[in-house]
C-alpha cells in the first residue's frame, strides 16, 4: 500500500521520527480501537465527540441517533478530523523535561457525509455488528424499519492521515544517566474482563463462538485487530 | 459544588439520563485519565489532537513543544473543546440496535491561552510531574532555562462542561428477552503493567515511594485519581 498524501494539514511537525503516513500503520491503529474522537465545527465552535468507528478499506463510518447534534452537523459534508489514540505506557525520566508517554495515535482528515441510500445504510448498520462480532448478525433478530429510520450513518473517505507512535524506553539526556532516581516505563494496556451476562438471559445460554476473540485477560487492541481481519475475509 | 452552567454548547441532547453537569462528576472523569483529545480550528479546519492534560480546580492545562502547531494555534485565545473518554465495556444485545458500550466521558468547553508569565509557566511545568508522580520533583535535577523556553504551556478555564456515563447491563427490548443468543457486558479496563527500568539506570535503583499508586495489575483510572488527590492535598 502506498503512503497517504502529505499536505500542511497532516504533515508531522514535531518529532518526525515518530511519524508515519503509511496506510497499513494508520489502519492498524484505527482497527485496534473501538472508540475514536471526532472533531468538527458548528457555528465556529469546535466539538470533540467520542464515538464508535469502523473501517472498510479507505472509508470510515460512525453512527448514532438521527437526532444527534454531531451527526446532523456532519451530514451535509462537514470537514472532520477523526483521531484514535492508544496509551501504552508512562515514561519516567531523570528530568521533568524528558518525561513522556508511549502511545500510538492516528489522525485522519476527510469530509463527512450522510449515508443516504437505504440499502447502503442497512448494509452499514449490519457491518458495525459484523465487524466487531463476526457471525453475530446471523443469531440476532432482523433490524426493524423503525430502528433503521432512527439511526444515522456517517461515512468519510480518508483524504489524508498520519500516525504517530512512541514505543521506546526513556530517552534521558546522556549526562543524566547516572542520577540515582528510578527511570523507565510503566506499561499500561486495555484488557478484557469476565463477561457479565444479561440478567434476563435464558439460563444456560452459552457464550457464542463469535465472541472467542474477546477472551478475558486478553488485550482489547489485539481482539479488535483479529475481528477486523475475520470481517475483512468475509 | 454547583453544576456547570448549561448553554446550547454543552446541553446533553441525546439520552439525557446518561448526562450530568455536576462538577465533581466531570472532575472525576478528567482526573482518571492521563490523555485527552483537544478539538480546535485552524483556518476553518478542525483538528483533534491527543495530549496529556492536568487539572487545578477549574483550570485545565496541557503543554508541548514551543514549535507545536496545535499550541501555536491555541495560544492567542482559541476556542477549544477538550474531551476525555473511558471505555468500560462492550454491551451486546439481542438486537443490533441495542448494542452499545459502557463509557464515561467529559466534554469541556473554554478558551485556551498561553501561560506567559515565566514564574507561572515554571510552576505549571513542575505541577505536571508533581500531579502524576507526587514527590518526584524533589528527586529530579532542576529544569534548565533552555528546557523551560522550549516548552509551551496552555491553560483553559472550564467555562462549560458535561459528563455522559453509561454504566449498566444491556437494555434489550422486553420482547427480545427470550431470544437464545448470549447478551450482556464484556468489561474492559486499562491496567498497569510491570515497570520496565531504563537500560542506563544505576544498578539497584529502587522503585520510589512516589510511584506506589502505579501498582502492577491496578486500574490506571484509580491510580490517577489517587495521585490527583495526593497532589491536591499538597
pLDDT digits 0-9 by tens, B152-184: 999 999 999 999 999 999 999 999 989 999 999
pLDDT digits 0-9 by tens, A146-182: 999 999 999 999 999 999 999 999 999 999 989 999 9
Render the burial of A110-137: b for 16+ CB within 10 Å, e for the rest: bebbbbeeeeebbebbebbbbbbbbbbb
Looking at the DSSP bridge assignments, the partners of residue A21 are: none
Record: contact B143-A97, CB cut-off 8 A: yes
More confident residue, B23 or A18: B23
Contact A205, B228 (CB under 8 A): no
Domain spans of chain B? 16-88+100-168+223-233
Helix, strand, coil percentages (3-state) for chain A, rounded to 5, are: 25, 35, 35
Task: Check CB contact of B99 with chain A, cutoff 8 Å.
Answer: yes
What backbone phi and psi angles, to 5 degrees, belong to A228?
-65, -40
Closest residue in A to B162 (Cα) is: A49
Record: contact A208-B181, CB cut-off 8 A: yes
User: How many of the other CB atoms lie within 10 Å of CB of A202?
Assistant: 13
- Per cent of chain B over pLDDT 90 is 85
pLDDT for A8 beyond 80 = yes
Across the range B80-91, mean pLDDT stands at 98
HSE of A88 in the Cβ direction (CA atoms, 13 Å)? 18
pLDDT for A14 beyond 80 = no
Task: Check CB contact of A2 with chain B, cutoff 8 Å.
Answer: no
CATH class of B16-88+100-168+223-233: mainly beta
Record: contact A99-B183, CB cut-off 8 A: no
More confident residue, A203 or B216: B216
HSE of B107 in the Cβ direction (CA atoms, 13 Å)? 22
Closest residue in A to B100 (Cα) is: A52
Average pLDDT over all residues of chain A: 94
Q: Where are the beta strands (DSSP E) in B122-159?
A: 151-157
Rounded distance between C-alpha atoms, residue B216 and residue B221, angstroms:
13
Q: Where are the beta strands (DSSP E) in A6-58?
A: 19-20, 35-42, 45-56
Q: Classify the C-alpha dihedral B195-B200-B203-B204 as positive or negative.
A: negative
Quick one: pLDDT at residue B20? 93
CATH homologous superfamily, domain A16-229: Electron Transport, Fmn-binding Protein; Chain A (2.30.110.10)
Rounded distance between C-alpha atoms, residue B180 and residue A36, angstroms:
32
Record: contact A188-B193, CB cut-off 8 A: yes
Which of A128, A185, A202 lies at the smallest CB-CB distance from B180?
A: A202
- Per cent of chain A over pLDDT 70 is 100
pLDDT digits 0-9 by tens, A32-74: 999 999 999 999 999 999 999 999 999 999 998 887 888 888 8
The minimum CA-CA distance between B21 and chain A, rounded to whole Å, is 16
Q: Where are the beta strands (DSSP E) in B57-148?
A: 59-65, 79-92, 100-114
pLDDT digits 0-9 by tens, B97-149: 999 999 999 999 999 999 999 999 999 999 999 999 999 999 999 999 999 99
Rounded distance between C-alpha atoms, residue B51 and residue B34, angstroms:
8
Rounded distance between C-alpha atoms, residue B34 and residue B11, angstroms:
25
Rounded distance between C-alpha atoms, residue B128 and residue A93, angstroms:
13
Task: Check CB contact of A4 with chain B, cutoff 8 Å.
Answer: no
Tell me the three cell numbers of residue B126. 513542575
Tell me the three cell numbers of residue A104. 500510538
Task: Check CB contact of B208 with chain A, cutoff 8 Å.
Answer: yes
The minimum CA-CA distance between A1 and chain B, rounded to whole Å, is 25
C-alpha closest to that of B45 among B69, B25, B27, B65: B69
Contact A19, B10 (CB under 8 A): no
Cβ contacts from A onto B, under 8 A: 283
Quick one: pLDDT at residue A173? 94
Looking at the DSSP bridge assignments, the partners of residue B62 are: B53, B154
Task: Check CB contact of A204 with chain B, cutoff 8 Å.
Answer: no
Amino acid at each position: 500500500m502506498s503512503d497517504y498524501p502529505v499536505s500542511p494539514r497532516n504533515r508531522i511537525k514535531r518529532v518526525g521520527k515518530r511519524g508515519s503516513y503509511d496506510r497499513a500503520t494508520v489502519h492498524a491503529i484505527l482497527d485496534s480501537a473501538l472508540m475514536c474522537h471526532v472533531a468538527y465545527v458548528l457555528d465556529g465552535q469546535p466539538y470533540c465527540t467520542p464515538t464508535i468507528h469502523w473501517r472498510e478499506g479507505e472509508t470510515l463510518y460512525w453512527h448514532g441517533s438521527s437526532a444527534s447534534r454531531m451527526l446532523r452537523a456532519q451530514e451535509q459534508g462537514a470537514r472532520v478530523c477523526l483521531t484514535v489514540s492508544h496509551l501504552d505506557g508512562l515514561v519516567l525520566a531523570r528530568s521533568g523535561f524528558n518525561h513522556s508517554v508511549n502511545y500510538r495515535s492516528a489522525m485522519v482528515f476527510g469530509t463527512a457525509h450522510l449515508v443516504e441510500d437505504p440499502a447502503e445504510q442497512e448494509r452499514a448498520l449490519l457491518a458495525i455488528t459484523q465487524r466487531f462480532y463476526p457471525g453475530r448478525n446471523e443469531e440476532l433478530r432482523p433490524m426493524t424499519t423503525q430502528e433503521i429510520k432512527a439511526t444515522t450513518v456517517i461515512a468519510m473517505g480518508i483524504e489524508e492521515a498520519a500516525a504517530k507512535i512512541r514505543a521506546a524506553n526513556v530517552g534521558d539526556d546522556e549526562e543524566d544517566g547516572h542520577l540515582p532516581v528510578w527511570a523507565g516505563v510503566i506499561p499500561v494496556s486495555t484488557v478484557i474482563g469476565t463477561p457479565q451476562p444479561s440478567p434476563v438471559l435464558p439460563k444456560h445460554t452459552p457464550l457464542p463462538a463469535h465472541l472467542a476473540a474477546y477472551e478475558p485477560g486478553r488485550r482489547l487492541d489485539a481482539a479488535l485487530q483479529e475481528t477486523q481481519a475475520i470481517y475483512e475475509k468475509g
